Structure 1
Amino acid sequence: MSDSQRRQITGFSNPTIKRLRSLREKKHRKREGHFLAEGLRILTEALDAGKTPKLLVLVEDAPLHPLAEKIEQATLDAGGEVIETSEAIIAKLSGKSNPQSIIGIYADHPTPLAELDRKLSDIWLVAQALRDPGNLGTILRTGDAIGAGGLILIDDCVDPFAVEAVRASMGAIFTQKITQASWEEFLPWLRSGEGQLVGTSLNTDKDYQAVRYSPPTFLLIGNEAQGLPASYETACDILVKMPMMGKADSLNAAMASAVMGYEVLNQRRK
C-alpha cells in the first residue's frame, strides 16, 4: 500500500480531527449520520458484512496487519479516505489511554420498522428503555450469536451507535438489523403479522423453560432498573421468568437476553 494514498494529520486542532472527535456525542452522530468504530476485529467484522469505512484512521509509521491492509484497500476502492496520524491523536478519538491502532468512520444504518422483514429470522430481540450502552452492545452480540434477525429498540433507548455500544457489540453492530420505534408504533406493527411477544417479568410464576415458543419469537426485555411497564406486560402473549436461587431478584438485562435467546434457539434446534 502506498503511503501517498494517505493524508497525514499532525495537529489536534485540525478540523477533520475535531469533527471525528465530535462523533463521540450523540447529537453530532445524528447530525452527521456517521459513527466511530475501533479495533481490527470490529473493522474486519464490518468488512465481512460488506461495510467499508467512509474514513479510515491509522497510526503513522506503524506496520499494518494483513487484515488492516485489506481494510485500507477496500476503503480506497470504495472511494473512502485514509488518514494517518499520531497515537496521541487516535487516543483522543478513542477516548482510551491505550487505543486501538485503527479506527473507522461508518454511515449509521438504522432500519425503519416498516421495512423490517420478520421472516428473516425465528428470533428477534426487543429492548425497552435500555439505558446502558454496554448492555445494548452485548445484546447485539448475543443476537448475532443466536442468529436473531435484529434488535428493536423501544421508546427512549441509549444510542446503539455510541462508541461504548459499538465496542461492546464486537462487530455485531454490522450484522444485526437495528430498529428504533415507540411502543405505540411497535405493537400495531407486530400484530399486523405473525409473531409471539414474550416478556421477561417478576410478575409471573411461569418458568422460562416451561413454555414452547412459537416462531417468530420476539423477546421483550425491560429497562435495567424498572423492568417492563405494566401495560407492556399486559400486551405480551406470555410472561416468563428465570429462577433466582440466590438473593438477587433478577438478571442483568444483557444476561437475561442471552439466557432467553439461547432457550428459544435450543428449542428450535431440538
Structure 2
Amino acid sequence: MTSKKITSVQNPLVKTIVQLQEKSRNRKQSGLFVIEGLREIELAIRGDYTISTVLFYPDIIQQTNIPISLAQNRNIELIEISKEVYHKLAYRETTEGVIAIAKIKPHTLPSLHLSENPLILVAEATEKPGNIGAILRTADAAKIDAVIIANPKSDIYNPNVIRSSIGCLFTNQIAVASTEETIDYLKNKNINIYCATLQDPTSYHTLDYNKPCAFVVGTEDTGLTQAWRDASTKNIIIPMSGSIDSMNVSVAASILVFEAKRQRNFL
C-alpha cells in the first residue's frame, strides 16, 4: 500500500472528514464515518467494518508502527498528514496520531443474531452521545446479545459516541428502530420486557431474569413512552434512598444487566 501526503487544511479530503465529524446528515448521505485512535480502528476491523482510508501523523506514529492489519491491506489508502492537518482533524485531546474513514453498517432488527436465551438492552430516545457510549461499554462488559436504540435522538456514529464507548460501538450487536418495531420484534421472539419506570413498579432484584429478557430504559427527564408500559412484562425500579427518583440512564442499565448476569451465573 503506497502512502501519499496531505499538508493543507484546505485539501478536499480534509474538508470531507470535518463534515463527516460534524454533521450527521453528511454521514448518512455518504455512508461513511470517522474513527480516531488505534484501539478503536482495530476494534472496528474485528467487528467487520470496512476501512477505506487511514491518515497518520508521523510525529506521533510512524508508518512502520501502524498495525499490519491496516498497513498491508491493499484496499486501504494510507495517507501521511502534517501537524496542521492532524490538529484540524483530531477530535480528542490525546490520541495515537491515527484517523480512519470507515463505512457505516446497517443496524436492522432482522440482522441481530441472538442466543437461545437472549439478554437485550433497549434504550429509548437516549439523546446524549456520552450516555449511549456508556451503555455500549456496559453491553460489551456484560457480553449481552444486543443493544437496541429505539426512537433514536442521536446518531450512533457521532464521534462522541465512538469516543465515550472506547470502541464498544464496534464490539456489540446494535439495532436502530422505532419503539413500535422494537416491541413487535421482542414479542415475536417471546422475549420478556422489563421496563425501568416509576409507574407500578416492582423492585428489580426480586424478579427472575433467567429466561429471555430485555431491559428497557428511557430518558432521565421523561422516562419511557406509554407504548413500553403497555407492552411491559413487568415494570421495574431500582430502589433509591436519596432525594431524587431517577439516576443516570447508563448507570441504571448497568445495574439491571449485571443483576441478570449474576442470576445466570455468568460472572
Q: When the two structures are superposed, what TM-score results if normalisation uses the length of structure 1?
A: 0.90
* Counterpart residue number, 1:198: 194
Report 1:1-270 matches (<5 A): 5-24=2-21, 25-64=23-62, 68-74=66-72, 76-77=73-74, 79-119=75-115, 122-269=118-265
- Deviations 1:218-254, CA, capped at 9 Å, x for gaps: 1111123211023321211111111111122111011
- Deviations 1:85-105, CA, capped at 9 Å, x for gaps: 123322322334555411121
Aligned AA for 1:265? K
Aligned AA for 2:3? R
- Deviations 1:25-47, CA, capped at 9 Å, x for gaps: 10000011111111122123223
- Deviations 1:42-90, CA, capped at 9 Å, x for gaps: 123223334452111100344439763334325x33x011111123322
In angstroms, what is the RMSD of aligned CA positions?
A: 2.1
Partners of 1:140 and 1:151 within 8 A in 2:
yes
Q: Distance in 2 between the 1:65 and 1:5 partners? A: 11
> After alignment, is 162-171 or 116-125 more displaced?
116-125
> After alignment, is 17-26 or 228-237 more displaced?
228-237
> After alignment, is 246-255 or 26-35 more displaced?
246-255
Q: Distance in 2 between the 1:100 and 1:217 partners? A: 39
Partner-residue secondary structure (3-state), 1:23: helix
Aligned AA for 2:84? A
Partners of 2:122 and 2:217 within 8 A in 1:
yes
Partners of 2:60 and 2:96 within 8 A in 1:
no
Change in CA separation of 1:109 and 1:224 when aligned onto 2, cut-off 3 Å: farther
1:138 Cα shift? 1.0
Percent of residue pairs identical: 28
Partners of 2:220 and 2:247 within 8 A in 1:
no
Q: Distance in 2 between the 1:155 and 1:52 partners? A: 26
Partners of 1:54 and 1:81 within 8 A in 2:
yes
Aligned AA for 1:5? T
Q: Distance in 2 between the 1:40 and 1:177 partners? A: 21
Q: Please list every run of 5 or more consecutive structure 1 residues that lacks an aligned counterpart in the other structure.
A: none
Change in CA separation of 1:38 and 1:138 when aligned onto 2, cut-off 3 Å: same
1:132 Cα shift? 0.3
Change in CA separation of 1:85 and 1:251 when aligned onto 2, cut-off 3 Å: same
Aligned AA for 1:49? G
Q: Distance in 2 between the 1:73 and 1:154 partners? A: 37
- Deviations 1:159-184, CA, capped at 9 Å, x for gaps: 11100001111111111122111122
Q: When the two structures are superposed, what TM-score results if normalisation uses the length of structure 2?
A: 0.91
1:216 Cα shift? 2.1
> After alignment, is 20-29 or 37-46 more displaced?
37-46
Q: Distance in 2 between the 1:203 and 1:218 partners? A: 18
List structure 1 segments (4+ residues) > 6 angstroms apart after TM superposition: none
Q: Please list every run of 5 or more consecutive structure 2 residues that lacks an aligned counterpart in the other structure.
A: none
